[in-house]
Amino acid sequence: MAIMTHPITPFTTPPTTHLHLSTSISKATSLPQLKQVHTQILRQNLSDSDSDSLLFNLILSSIPLPSSLHYSLSVFSTLQNPRTHLINKLFRELSRSKEPHNALLFLENGRRNGLEVDRFSFPPLLKAASRAFALREGMEIHGLGCKLGFDSDPFIQTALLGMYANCGHIQDARLVFDKMSERDIVAWDIMIDGYCQNGLFDDVLVLLEEMRSSNVEPDSRVFTTILSACGKTGNLAIGKVIHELISENNIIADSRLQSSLISMYSGCGCMDFAQSLYDKLSQKNLVVSTAMISGYSKAGQVEAARSIFDQITNKDLVCWSAMISGYAESDQPQEGLKLLDEMQASGVKPDQVTMLSVISACANLGALDQAKRIHMIVDKYRFREALPVNNALIDMYAKCGYLDGARGVFGRMRRKNVISWTSMISAYAIHGEADQALMLFRQMKEPNWITFVAVLYACSHAGLVDEGQHIFSSMMNEYNITPKLEHYGCMVDLYGRANRLREALELVETMPMAPNVVIWGSLMAACRIHGEFELGEFAAKRLLELDPEHDGAYVFLSNFYAKGKRWENVGEVRQLMKHKGILKERGHSKIEMDHEIHEFLTADKSHKHADDIYAKLDEVVCKLMQVGYAPNTSVVLIDVDEDEKKDVVLLHSEKLALCYGLLKSSNRGSPIHIIKNLRICEDCHNFMKLASKVFEREIVVRDRTRFHHYRGGSCSCKDYW
């Protein structure tokens, strides 16, 4: 009997098994879950094609998950015979992901294991190189494309064009562009955008003419690209040329182009033009309204920005952030903090950009209670691992007078960059902790020019002249950093505070660039401190040549003449100020109590508790006089009798703020924080020292340039300010 034989058929995966595993992959939301599915796949006796298909889906599902790169690469290396169209799909997904550089790592890993690519592999890979600013890898991919004969493919040429332009190699981009046999509107747009991003606006206009002579008419997308770049760079001249071209060629301005025109004018600070176009819009979309808010805010017209903001019904996160940022950068940071509360109440969660604006607002306000509340919000929304946020928190706590808070944030940071180190050095510097600033500086591996500004500032405010000179020299000789005006300003301040005015003047006269307002101002301030009025007069007049409306220089000259009782000259200066409409900046002080900011002017009686504050002031003055306090009337430079001078000096704004703090804060363990917009005068400095001893309270005053921590009758500045 013949034996029946049957042909052996290849093993196939049961459909139910494949479907179950595919479903499990799609439902997995974490790396451990994907690894469990991976184990199930390996336990099945699957065909190579089915196994590769499932493992490929596993890799795609792992892309958005954190810390998955190593695992994904290891799975990728186990694929038996990956099909090119699937590999290209992987490259596309990676090029669109938050970590586009991973596409390049997969390519590198695959090429080592014999991975083959085709012409469809190159556009996503070049897109990944472009997004990751990976010029070296992009050039290697370019070379590979040429080797495989794909360099004339129009899609690859367009991708190459975008990669070189985005990586800032505009000449290489132009070489690719010139070799293209066919240029569609996309290629022209990329080349124009590349010129825009590199600030080459003259080349943009030439390219527009070339475009039109090639019978390719620029469309609204091209004009939108140029206008957007003009708005970001403030190039009003080119922006107006483009606006004229749009009008001359009767191009219908769709909502996007209209928005770009308005954004361009608002970005260039031409709010009248922007408002005129904005008023003509039949429908005002959120993007253009937000551009108007940003434009008005940058122009210092925060009320106008708020007016537009209030007219928007459905505000998104970008809109809220723009308005909060507007307040943060103006002199109304408290309004920005209020707006954050409104935003959260409306159901919109802040992002990192919003929090940076809020932290900046709080730093400008100097309100410690608010700062601690903002830090809690940072933790609530899980931003505590974000490097820019932590750097901003260091700055915020430092400017709110809480050095321990800044130190705590810095110490907890698992990742630090040069901004982190520089922010902490700056914190120590403004709080008079020069030794700590120098110790931290010596631990740094790669300080930048801003770091040197911070550490020189620390030396300047601590009188460490030799150390400052050494650091200034090392910046050039060891770190190869060319000094900027900011560094020379610090050195002039360093010499000036130490009463080495001849060296300060010599540095001003020999520095390789023209001294600016800040440098002459530093020399003038040093002359005021040390009574060198002739040199101070010279510095003040040089300053006024650069800035004829500098109120500080006029005040210096007025005070200089008053010291010498040259009342006629005082009158001339004040008459000149009046004629030019120049007002002396009024001194004011702020104090935070019960989550509310209270502001005082000199001799201010507008506060609702004014009577209690003045009664407390009388009590404080009486107690301080018992331990040797006597009003220093030399700081009052007006032509009045001695008793009137005593009244003036006793009513300085920081004294009123202190008395309100003593009234409302009975907890002796809690420091009283005061913010002064001007340099604290000698009398108030002595007043605070004595008050800290008599009332057994720590008093923290932030003046224009630094912090003063008063404890037990002494100040952290060691009377060197």
What does the pLDDT look like over 428-449, one tens digit per residue? 999 999 999 999 999 998 999 9
Give the pLDDT confidence score for residue 184 in this predicted structure: 87
| CA angle (232, 233, 239) in 5-degree steps | 90
Question: Which parts of the chain register pLDDT below 70?
Answer: 1-16, 18, 48, 635-643
| Distance between CA atoms of residues 596 and 610, nearest Å | 16
| CA angle (470, 472, 476) in 5-degree steps | 110
**Beta carbons of 293 and 308 less than 8 angstroms apart:** yes
| Distance between CA atoms of residues 546 and 524, nearest Å | 14
The reported pTM is 0.73
Taking Cα atoms as reference points, which of 685, 679, 684, 687 lies closest to residue 706?
679
H or E segment to which residue 587 belongs: none
Strand order in the sheet with 714-715: 596-601, 588-593, 672-676, 699-702, 707-711, 714-715
Give the pLDDT confidence score for residue 90 in this predicted structure: 84
Give the pLDDT confidence score for residue 494 in this predicted structure: 96
Residue labelled with tokens 């020069």: 434
Residues 6+ apart with CB under 8 A from 13: 44, 46, 47, 50
Quick one: DSSP state of residue 601? E
Residues 6+ apart with CB under 8 A from 118: 84, 88
| Distance between CA atoms of residues 189 and 167, nearest Å | 16
CA distances from 461 to 81, 468, 700 (A): 68, 11, 17
| Distance between CA atoms of residues 615 and 521, nearest Å | 39
Give the pLDDT confidence score for residue 195 in this predicted structure: 87
Backbone dihedral angles phi then psi of residue 219, each to the nearest 5 degrees: -105, -175
Residue 284: helix, strand or coil by DSSP? coil
Give the pLDDT confidence score for residue 9 in this predicted structure: 41
H or E segment to which residue 128 belongs: helix 122-131
- Indicate the angle between helix axes 465-477 and 449-462, nearest 10 degrees: 170
Give the pLDDT confidence score for residue 326 in this predicted structure: 92
Q: Which residues pair with 702 in a beta bridge?
A: 675, 707
- Torsion angle of the four alpha carbons 336, 337, 342, 348, in this order, in degrees rounded to the nearest 10: 90
Give the pLDDT confidence score for residue 658 in this predicted structure: 97
Backbone dihedral angles phi then psi of residue 702, each to the nearest 5 degrees: -100, 115
- Counting every residue written for the chain, the total comes to 721
Rg, C-alpha atoms of the chain: 33
Tell me the per-residue pLDDT of 5-45, one tens digit each, with 9 for 90 and over: 444 344 444 556 767 777 878 777 787 888 888 888 877 77
Q: Which residues pair with 715 in a beta bridge?
A: 710
Give the pLDDT confidence score for residue 641 in this predicted structure: 60
| HEC string for 398-462 | HHCCCHHHHHHHHHHCCCCCHHHHHHHHHHHHHCCCHHHHHHHHHHCCCCCHHHHHHHHHHHHHH
H or E segment to which residue 711 belongs: strand 707-711
| Distance between CA atoms of residues 185 and 391, nearest Å | 43
Q: Phi/psi class of residue 531: alpha, beta or left (left: φ > 0; alpha: ψ in -120 to 50)? A: left
Q: Which residues pair with 596 in a beta bridge?
A: 593
Residue 366: helix, strand or coil by DSSP? coil
